[in-house]
Structure 1
Amino acid sequence: MKVQEIRELIKLVDQSSIAELVFESGNSKVKLKKSVSGTYAESAAQSAAVQETAAQPAAPVQAAPAKKEEAQPAAQEAPAAQETPATDENLHKITSPMVGTFYQSPSPDADPYVKAGSSVSEDTVVCIVEAMKLFNEIEAEVQGEIVEVLVKDGQLVEYGQPLFLVKPQ
């Protein structure tokens, strides 16, 4: 099963009212389960000698609050955080296709792939998102100019989280 197929399954479960989905194809098994704090993806691949299981949360796991009063302020803060990046409706958002760690350069001592003011084309690599020890190059998918980098180097990012704002050309 390809990573893109798993991403599409995650999107479908996120957008639906399904709480849990188990999908089996050949030697692959994907189990998606929604919880209050987000979607969790669990993938298992079997071979003749090896069985590997990987769990990938789509949102950081947080301890459950002891009292209901403590949960309300956190719920009120979340919408404010989501409103901040979307200031101009004409800007294209480059979003994270997976949960992982954001890296703006190919190595710690190298220059960033892009920064505010950089011109990009559809196939320009703008960053790397590391997920389960795999480094995935993220492309701009739009031609334009980087207006803002929304995350910091080494920051954990969620599936669908905006990474860059691009002014399309």
Structure 2
Amino acid sequence: MSGLSFDPDAIRALAKILRETDLTEIELVENESRIRVARSMPAQQVVQAVSAPAPVAPAAVPAAAAPAAPAASDEVTAATPGAVTSPMVGVAYLSPEPGAAPFITIGGRVAQGQTVLLIEAMKTFNQIKAPKAGTVTRILVDSGMPVEFGEPLLVIE
């Protein structure tokens, strides 16, 4: 590791890119050197930012009342009964590999401890298991979607 040297200006530049693009993570790899800059945003702040404009838009534009279904999924929080939240920052995957059947479907039954999705973090696929048996009523993420710590992923009732 004695050969590693990082330019503080390069790290500051990567951090600036994170802020400007609303990304949560950037990783650069060159030969044996790796620079990873990551930030996390509390899930509640993201939900509040999405929820706050919603009441204003329908009042200003009557046609905006049509997408009521997506707004309902935004209302799911970590406190929602049956909500399964992300234990880490990463990328969610709904199936074990591309082209394979998904682990879960809306209306499908799951057993306690059954794998419901994967979260890739630092090139490791982590199984997210159902905390209880029940029926999947909502899936709040798409495959390949970045997720934050504490973010609701699905609802089991």
Please say whether Structure 1 and Structure 2 have the same fold, judged by a TM-score greater than 0.5.
yes
2:40 corresponds, among 43, 49, 58, to 58
Question: Highest CA radius of gyration, 1 or 2?
Answer: 2
Q: By percentage of residues, which structure has more helix?
A: 2
Q: 1:150 to 1:83 in 2, by over 3 A?
A: closer
Q: Give the deviation of 1:122 after TM superposition.
A: 1.5
Identity %: 36
1:34-61 C-alpha deviation (Å, 9 max, x unpaired): xxxxxx9xxxxxxxxxxx886543239x
Report the number of matched residues.
107
Residue 154 in 1 paired to residue 136 in 2? no
1 CA distance for matches of 2:48 and 2:95? 34
Residue 164 in 1 paired to residue 154 in 2? yes
Q: Give the deviation of 1:144 after TM superposition.
A: 0.5
Q: 1:75 to 1:152 in 2, by over 3 A?
A: closer
Q: By percentage of residues, which structure has more strand?
A: 1
Partner of 2:55: none
Bigger mean CA deviation after superposition, 136-145 or 76-85: 76-85
Partner of 1:115: 105
1 CA distance for matches of 2:100 and 2:151? 24
Retained in 1: the 8 A contact 2:51–2:74? no
TM-score, normalization: structure 1? 0.52
What residue ranges of structure 2 are gaps of 5+ in the alignment?
Answer: 1-23, 25-33, 53-70
2:50 corresponds, among 78, 93, 99, to 78
Greater RCO (Cα-Cα under 8 Å, separation 6 or more)? 2
